[in-house]
């Protein structure tokens, strides 16, 4: 992996962790800064979300400072210049979900383009 790839993966990881931060999730304007204009998600529930509808769950109180999401096994791969794929295991109060995100570099920085959650066994 080149230095440029390492920096790209780290930028995506930093963005992903910011999206899990309760203080960021509580502020829609901060969440929107991290979402690509074409953002879509297929949640662990099977529901499909877009950039606007995801704000209803990012700021619904499901992630609080008292019960933060614990992340493990995070890894990233550069798929192409300006495109990073992340995978990790998220545990929110015992609910374990495998997460996958695609981040892309835009004129305004790294933004998540696609996200999917799959319940872990």
User: For the chain, how many helices (H) and strands (E)?
Assistant: 4, 6
Range of lowest pLDDT (12-16, 56-60, 69-73) = 56-60
How far apart are alpha carbons 17 and 30 in whole angstroms?
Answer: 13
Average model confidence (pLDDT) for the chain? Answer: 91
Neighbours of 98 (CB within 10 A): 16
CB 39 within 8 A of CB 51: yes
Q: 0.95 exceeded by the pTM? A: no
Residue 65 pLDDT class (50, 70, 90 cuts) = low
**Domain topology for 3-119:** Nuclear Transport Factor 2; Chain: A, (3.10.450)
Tell me: pLDDT of 25 over 90: no
Instruction: Give the per-residue pLDDT at 64.
Output: 52
**Per-domain residue ranges of the chain:** 3-119
Residue with tokens 């920085």: 109
First and final CA of the chain: distance in angstroms? 32
Task: Report DSSP letters for 13-70, one per residue.
Answer: HHHHHHHH-HHHHT-HHHHHHHEEEEEEEE-TTS-EEETTTTHHHHTSSSSBTTBPPE
For residues 13-41, average pLDDT: 94
């Amino acid at each position: 992996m080149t230095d440029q790839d390492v920096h790209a993966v780290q930028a995506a990881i930093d963005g992903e962790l910011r999206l899990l931060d309760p203080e960021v999730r509580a502020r829609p304007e901060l969440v929107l800064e991290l979402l690509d204009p074409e953002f879509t998600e297929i949640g662990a529930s099977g529901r499909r979300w877009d950039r606007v509808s995801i704000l209803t769950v990012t700021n619904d109180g499901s992630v609080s400072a008292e019960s933060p999401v614990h992340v493990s096994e995070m890894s990233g791969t550069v798929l192409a210049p300006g495109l990073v794929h992340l995978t990790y295991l998220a545990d929110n109060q015992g609910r374990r979900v495998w997460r996958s995100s695609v981040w892309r570099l835009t004129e305004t920085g790294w933004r998540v383009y696609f996200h999917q959650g799959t319940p872990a066994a």
